[in-house]
Structure 1
Amino acid sequence: MPLETPTLVVRELARHGYNAEREAVTLIAGAADPETTLARAVEHAGADAFRVTADDVRAVLDGGPNATDAPVSTPDSPAASERAAGDPSTESSAEPSVDPSTSTGDSTAVEGTAADSAPPETTESPSGRRSDPSLRSLSITGDMTGQSTGTGEYADFVKVFKDRYEKLSRQLRGRVNHRPAEAIQSMSGGSDAAMVGLVNDIRSTASGHWLVELEDTTGTFPCLVMKDRDFAAGVDELLMDECIAVEGTLSDDAGIMFVDSMHWPDVPRTYRPNTADRHVQAALISDVHVGSQEFMADAWHRFADWLHTEEAERVEYLLVAGDMVEGVGVYPNQDEELDIVDIYDQYEQFSEHLKEVPGDIEIVMIPGNHDAVRLAEPQPGFDEELRDIMDVHDARITSNPSTVTLEGVNVLMYHGVSLDEVIAELPAESASYDDPHKAMYQLLKKRHVAPQYGGHTRLAPEKQDYLVMEEVPDIFHTGHVHKLGWGKYHNVLAVNSGCWQAQTDFQKSVNIDPDSGYAPIVDLDTLDMTVRKFS
C-alpha cells in the first residue's frame, strides 16, 4: 500500500501495533520510499518499543537512501504481532459505562456532541481516532521552572510582596482616587479618602464593627467597617495579605477612615471568555496518585479505553493538575498505605499508565504537593530525571501554577493547596469541600491563587509574585481537595476535577470522602462541560 500521506503512515503503523511521534510520521511520509522507511524504522525501534520515534526514522534515513539494499524484517513478524496483541493502546474496546453529570448551581454541563464532519486532512490513531494536528495550537505562559531566585533573605520577601502590590493595585486604581498611606496620614479630618493596600490586620471592635488595617509601600492605615453597612459581610471573606481598595471619610482627628465602599480586583462582570474556532475538547483531571494502594487502576483503564473510542475523538488535549503519584512521606504513616514504596518506581508506573492514552493527544502536566518537587509555591516543573521518565507522548511539563492556551482558550492550571486555607478561613456558604468551585470563586475575586502568607500554604519568595492572576483566565482548573465541583464565575469556568484514588485511611481520619474516577470534558468552542464517570 503506498504511504503518500501521514494518515496512511499512522494507519499502517497502527496495523502492526505501533504508535509514533508526529515528527516521525512526517519524516516517513516525506521519504523517497515510505514503505521501506517505515519497515526499517520499526526494526530500529525494536519489538519491545511502544512507539516509533523521529530518531528511529532519522537513523534509517541517515544510513543511505532508506537502506533499501539491506534486508528488512517485516513488521508482521511474530514478535511484532505478539507485542501488538498485548498492547492495550492498540486494542479496540467497548465504551465504558459512563454517567454524564448534570448542571448544578450557575454552572454549565451538557452532553458533548461530535462535529458534523471530520477535517479533510486527518491522522488516525491505532484505535481509529481522527485528528488534524495542524489545526492545534498550544502555548504556555507563567512557567517559572528554572527561574527561581529566592534565597530566603528578608529582602526577597519584601520584593515579592511589593510585586504583588504593584500588580494588583494597578487593577484597582482606576476605580478609586487612591492616595498612599503616608499622604492620607497628613490629610485633615473629615476629608474624603481612598486607599489601595494589602490586608495587614483584621480585628473586631467591642461594638462588633470591623477594623481592617491596610498596608502599601509607604505605610499602614486603619479603616473601620461599620457592622450595619451592606458590604460588611465582605469582611468575613477577607484573607490576610490580599489586595483591596476602600473609599471613605476620615475621622475628625484623621486617625481612621470610616469605610463607605470596598473593592476587590475581581473578574469584570462584563468579561467574555475566549473560545476555540472549531469543535475540540480537553479532558481535565488531577490527583492520579499512582503508588497508593487506593489508586483506581481499573477506572484509569476504562478512561484510557474510552479516549480511544470514536465518541472521544474530539478530545485532543489532556491537562493533569498535579499529584501524578502518591509520593513518599507526605503525611504520617503514609508508608503503610503505599503499593509502591520507591518514588522513582511510582513515576515509572505512572508513565506506563500514561502510555494507555492515545498518542495523538497533547498532554500538559503540573506538579502538586505529593509530587517530587519543592512544596513551596510556585512549584517549578520536575527535574530532568523525572521528565525523562514521564516523556510519554512528548508530554509537556510546566510549573504550578501556569497558564496553558489551547487554541486561544486560556486555562489557568493550579494544583490547589491554598483551597484548604480558603475553606478553613471563610464561612461555609462562601467556601466548602462539598463545593470546591466556590472556594475557587474567591481566588478569582482576589485575583491570586494563594493570597495568605504564613498559613497552611507554603509560599516561596521570588523576584516576582508568580501567583497573581494578571490576566483573567477562561478556565480555572484545580485539584488537590479530591472533590468534584464546577461552575461559572463572571463567565470564567472553574473546575475542580476530583481524583483517581479511593478513600485512604488517612482521608477517613480527616473526614474526606473523595470523588474518584471522574473526567470533566470541556468543549473549547463553547466552554460547556460534560462529566464522565469511570469508577
Structure 2
Amino acid sequence: MPLEASARIVSELTSRGYNAEREAVTQLSSADDPHAALERVMEAVSDDTLVVRTEHVQAALAATGSDANSTAGGREPSPGHDADDPSVSTGTSAPNPAATDGATPVETGGSSDAGRSANPDLRSLEIIGDMTGESTGTGEYSDFVSVFRDRLERLGSKLRGRINHRPATAIQNMPGGGEVGMVGLVNDIRSTASGHWLVELEDATGTFPWLVMKDREYADLVGELLCDEVLAMEGTLADDSGIAFVDSMYFPDIPRTHEPSTADRHVQAALISDVHVGSQEFMHDAWNRFTDWLHTKQAQHVEYLLIAGDMVEGVGIYPNQDEELDIIDIYEQYEVFNEYLKQVPGDIEIVMIPGNHDAVRLAEPQPGFNEDLRTIMSAHDPRIVSNPSTVTLEGVSVLMYHGVSLDEVIAELPEEKASYEEPHKAMYQLLKKRHVAPQFGGHTRLAPEEQDYLIMEDVPDIFHTGHVHKLGFGKYHNVLAINSGCWQSQTDFQKSVNIDPDAGYAPIVDLDTLDVTVQKFS
C-alpha cells in the first residue's frame, strides 16, 4: 500500500470531518483511481456517517466495477509479520504515527484477519463507582469527618458480625477481666519497651488501646497494619480496664469462599497501564507492535482494552522532568496519545482511568478527564472514568485503580509482604484491607468527600493496577490481581531511585477462565 496515497486519503477524509477504518483506506489507496474512488464513497455515505468503513468502500467500488486489489480482509500485514503467527517476543517495527508526512493516522476499525466478534448482543460493559462530576469535597473539617465515618461504618459492617462489638467509651466503663471486642480505625501503632505492640483503635466515640503480645501467633500481623485502616480486635480487659490484651484480630478481607464470576463465552481483555506518551523513553516501537498484534488472528478474542492510568508523561511531575520530555506541551501529549490510540482496532471496547501523571487532580479519588481532554482523546469513543472505578465485562468485575498507594504499602510493610519485584503481593494487602488507599496523611494524596470512594464495597473478580512500572500477577482468595507494567523504558529519574521497569508487556486475561497470558512486545 503506497504510504503517500494513504496519507493523502486520510488527510482528505479528516478535512471533511470523517474518521476511517484502516481497511477502508487500504482499499481506497489501492483503487485504480484513488481520488475518484474517494469521491464515489463520499457521494454514497449518508449525511450522519462519522466513520468511513470497509463496506462503504466495497459498495462504492462494486457499483463501478473497480477492483481494490487489496489483501485478504483489506489489510496488509506489517513487513516481516506473519499474519497467522505474529511474533510477540520481538515483533517488527511499525511506522510511528508521527512519521506520516504530517497526515493524521487513520482511526482503524476491526481487522477481518482477526475475526473479532463485533456483535453488540454478545458484549456487555457496565461502569460502577465512577465519581466523575460527583466530587463535593471542599477541604473543610466536616468533609474529613464524613469520609472517615463512612469508612468506619461501611467496612465496620463487614466485621461487627464476627465479634461482640462495643464502642470505645463503653469498653472504658466495663469491669476488668471481661471479654471484649471492638471495631475501629487504626489510630496509632507503637512498640513497647518489652517488644510487645500497642495498637490504638478509634471509633466515633473515642479511642482504646490494645496490647498485642510478641509471642502470640498473630503478632506478625501487626507488621501488616497501616494507620487509618479498619480493624476488629477481641481480647481480655486488664484488671483496671485501661487496656485490652488481644486474643484475635480481623481484617475486612476477601472471604475465602469467594467464587469469581466468569464470562459465558471465550473472550479476552488486554490490561495495560502507564503508556507515558510525551516521554523521551516512551516505547513507540513496542506500542506499534502491540497494536499490530491486536489486528492478528492470535488476538481475535481480545475485545476489551483497559488502561489503568498515566496515558501521558505529564509536566512537572518530578524534579528536572523537562529534561526527559519529548513533548513539552501537555495538550500535545494527549493529542499524540490519541493518534496512537487510533491504531487499536476500532471494534475493541476501551476503558481508561487517570493516573498521577495525568492532567487531573492529584488527590484520590481522581475524577475522569475534563471535557477538553475527552474531546482530544476521542479515538474509538473510549469510556473515560474516575480512578478508581469498577468495570464489569460480561459479568466479570474489574476494579481499576492506578496504584499510587502501592508505594506507601511497599514502604511501610515488610519486604516479604510487599515489594516492587512482586507488586501483586502489595495488592493482596489492599484486598485484605478492602480499601485501595487506607493510610491518610502519607505520600498518597487523598481528597475528603461525603463518602469514601476508595472502599472495595464489593469483591472484584479482577484487581488491576499500574503506577509502579512492574509486572506481576497472582490470585488472592480467588481474586486475580494484576499490575500490568508500563510502556516507558527506564528514565534517568528511575535510575536515581533504583526502579528497573517491566516495559512493553500486555497481560491478556481470558474472561471465561480468568487465566492470564503475558504478551511481550519489547
TM-score (norm 2): 0.84
**Equivalent residues in 2 for 1:72-221 (5 A)?**
90-93=75-78, 94=81, 95-99=85-89, 125=111, 127-131=113-117, 132-221=119-208
Amino acid at match of 1:456: H
**Contact 2:365–2:447 (Cα < 8 Å) also in 1:** yes
Match of 1:463 among 450, 472, 478: 450
Map of 1:17 onto structure 2:
25
CA positional deviation for 1:391: 1.3
Map of 1:23 onto structure 2:
none
Map of 2:313 onto structure 1:
326
Moved more, 249-258 or 90-99: 90-99
**Contact 1:39–1:75 (Cα < 8 Å) also in 2:** no
Q: Structure 1 residue 40 and structure 2 residue 43: aligned?
A: yes
Match of 1:276 among 263, 270, 276: 263
Amino acid at match of 2:322: D
Secondary structure in 2 matching 1:335: helix
- The unaligned stretches of length 5 or more in structure 2 are 1-19, 28-38, 91-108
CA offsets 1:249-280 (integer angstroms, 9 cap, x no match): 00000000000000000001111000000000
CA offsets 1:312-346 (integer angstroms, 9 cap, x no match): 01000000000000000000000000000000000
Map of 1:8 onto structure 2:
none
Secondary structure in 1 matching 2:158: helix
CA positional deviation for 1:130: 2.7
Amino acid at match of 1:457: T
CA positional deviation for 1:42: 4.9
Taking the aligned partners of 1:236 and 1:390, their CA distance within structure 2 comes to 43
**Contact 1:18–1:52 (Cα < 8 Å) also in 2:** no
**Equivalent residues in 2 for 1:347-496 (5 A)?**
347-496=334-483
Amino acid at match of 1:201: D
Taking the aligned partners of 1:13 and 1:81, their CA distance within structure 2 comes to 15
**Structure 1 residues 334, 417: closer, same or farther in 2, change over 3 A?**
same
Taking the aligned partners of 1:15 and 1:353, their CA distance within structure 2 comes to 17
**Structure 1 residues 180, 293: closer, same or farther in 2, change over 3 A?**
same
**Contact 1:447–1:469 (Cα < 8 Å) also in 2:** yes
CA positional deviation for 1:220: 0.4
**Contact 2:409–2:426 (Cα < 8 Å) also in 1:** yes
CA positional deviation for 1:125: 3.3
**Structure 1 residues 124, 533: closer, same or farther in 2, change over 3 A?**
closer
Q: Structure 1 residue 317 and structure 2 residue 304: aligned?
A: yes
CA positional deviation for 1:437: 0.2
Taking the aligned partners of 1:268 and 1:528, their CA distance within structure 2 comes to 21
Taking the aligned partners of 1:288 and 1:270, their CA distance within structure 2 comes to 36
Amino acid at match of 1:52: V
CA offsets 1:395-445 (integer angstroms, 9 cap, x no match): 000000000000000000000000000000000000000000000000000
Secondary structure in 1 matching 2:307: strand
Amino acid at match of 1:97: S
CA offsets 1:450-494 (integer angstroms, 9 cap, x no match): 000000000000010000001000000000000000000000000
CA positional deviation for 1:96: 4.1
Secondary structure in 2 matching 1:392: coil
**Contact 2:311–2:354 (Cα < 8 Å) also in 1:** yes
CA offsets 1:292-323 (integer angstroms, 9 cap, x no match): 00000000000000000011010000000000
Q: Structure 1 residue 222 and structure 2 residue 230: aligned?
A: no
Taking the aligned partners of 1:285 and 1:18, their CA distance within structure 2 comes to 29
CA positional deviation for 1:164: 0.4
Amino acid at match of 1:245: A
CA positional deviation for 1:75: 9.8
Map of 2:500 onto structure 1:
513
Taking the aligned partners of 2:485 and 2:110, their CA distance within structure 1 comes to 30
Q: Structure 1 residue 534 and structure 2 residue 521: aligned?
A: yes
**Structure 1 residues 76, 209: closer, same or farther in 2, change over 3 A?**
farther
- The unaligned stretches of length 5 or more in structure 1 are 1-11, 20-35, 58-71, 101-122
Taking the aligned partners of 2:113 and 2:26, their CA distance within structure 1 comes to 11
CA offsets 1:160-205 (integer angstroms, 9 cap, x no match): 0000000100010111111111111110000100000000000100
**Contact 2:114–2:299 (Cα < 8 Å) also in 1:** no
CA positional deviation for 1:134: 1.6
Amino acid at match of 1:270: T
Secondary structure in 1 matching 2:234: strand
**Structure 1 residues 210, 485: closer, same or farther in 2, change over 3 A?**
same
Taking the aligned partners of 1:291 and 1:124, their CA distance within structure 2 comes to 27
CA positional deviation for 1:528: 0.3
Amino acid at match of 2:52: V
**Structure 1 residues 134, 39: closer, same or farther in 2, change over 3 A?**
farther
Aligned length, in residue pairs: 460
Taking the aligned partners of 2:171 and 2:46, their CA distance within structure 1 comes to 77
Taking the aligned partners of 1:309 and 1:274, their CA distance within structure 2 comes to 28
Taking the aligned partners of 1:193 and 1:372, their CA distance within structure 2 comes to 49
**Structure 1 residues 317, 310: closer, same or farther in 2, change over 3 A?**
same
**Contact 1:379–1:399 (Cα < 8 Å) also in 2:** yes
CA positional deviation for 1:45: 9.2
**Contact 1:14–1:126 (Cα < 8 Å) also in 2:** no
**Contact 2:418–2:425 (Cα < 8 Å) also in 1:** yes
Taking the aligned partners of 1:314 and 1:73, their CA distance within structure 2 comes to 30
Taking the aligned partners of 1:37 and 1:456, their CA distance within structure 2 comes to 59
CA positional deviation for 1:378: 0.1
Map of 2:5 onto structure 1:
none
CA positional deviation for 1:92: 2.6
Amino acid at match of 2:168: A
Secondary structure in 1 matching 2:169: helix
Secondary structure in 2 matching 1:520: strand
**Contact 1:300–1:517 (Cα < 8 Å) also in 2:** yes
Map of 2:97 onto structure 1:
none
Taking the aligned partners of 2:411 and 2:435, their CA distance within structure 1 comes to 17
